[in-house]
Amino acid sequence: MKLSSLIFASLTATVLSASTTHSATHNWSYHDDTPPEEWGEVSKICVTGKLQTPINIQTDKTVPAIKGKDELKFFNYHTGINSSLINNGHTVKVTPEFQNSYNQPYITVDGKLFNLLQFHIHTHSENRIDGKQSDLVAHFVHQSYNGDLAVVAVFFDVGEENMAISKYWDIMPKHIDEKATLDNIDISQVLPNDTSKFYTFMGSLTTPPCSENVKWFILKDKQTISANQIKSLRKIYPNNFRPIQSKNSRTIFER
């Protein structure tokens, strides 16, 4: 195995280990005894950080993206791959399983490569646009070879049934630590048709450890999802979203 592959594998394991540790111990929640207001007991930066996510994006205060900067491109999302689903106690997480690195979905940001690690769902959306939440959001988490993270958010509003999402809903694990698998799926179907327009800013993970310096892309084009699909998810996780955090001095760029 090449050194670069070994480094990436190690970084990936570190990130996944961190997320699964918090999930496995269930030492934080969205309600009950450990709500978001008390996440600082789990990770101090959740309350002391200056780049915390989610935020409210005020569209009249965004700045046009600089030409040649924040260029976002998607690759290999159409590849048929196998994936595992797990109910981790906070959300349902979908993790692609790759036999070969050449077919792994990834994005580039200004030419820098970020491999897809996993995607998961929140209801309602966490980031807001002019104070408005969407009914659901999918967060696609990516990691570069040097460990930097980039998250692409896809909003869903109630409307027509989403057939791509149905594949995941039909086998959704309903109990904590329960798992399921999907074979030969096309992850690109979860993305909207237009991925070229978005808001972008520097933020954090929206769950403990709330690590900062995460690059966020909020796609403007949305998907639809039926009321019944939303209802079935909220039976498992009602309102699993973090409250809005302070924007502080951050600039929100728009493309």
Mind listing the pLDDT tens digit for each residue in 185-235?
888 999 999 999 999 999 999 999 999 999 999 999 999 999 999 998 898
Task: Name residues whose C-beta falls within 8 Å of residue 74's C-beta, 6 or more positions apart in sequence.
Answer: 105, 107, 188, 191, 195
Question: Can you give the residue ranges of every domain in the chain?
Answer: 3-254
Residue 193 Cα distances to 15, 108, 142, 188, angstroms = 30, 18, 20, 9
Q: How many percent of the chain have pLDDT more than 90?
A: 71
Give the pLDDT of residue 10: 36
Average of per-residue pLDDT across 168-185: 91
- Say if pTM beats, i.e. exceeds, 0.85: yes
Read off the pLDDT band of 13 (50, 70, 90): very low
Per-residue model confidence as pLDDT tens digits over 54-64: 999 999 999 99
At residue 26, the pLDDT reads 53
Least confident among 23-32, 145-154, 177-186: 23-32
Share of the chain above pLDDT 70, in %: 88
Residues pairing with 89 in the sheet:
none
CATH number assigned to the domain covering 3-254 = 3.10.200.10
**77 has a pLDDT exceeding 80:** yes
- DSSP β-bridge partners for residue 87: 92
| Confidence at residue 59, expressed as pLDDT on a 0 to 100 scale | 97
Per-residue CA distances from 129 to 58, 137, 238, 242 (Å): 6, 13, 21, 15
**The pLDDT value given to residue 33:** 80
How does the average pLDDT of the chain come out, rounded? Answer: 88
Three-state secondary structure call for residue 244: coil
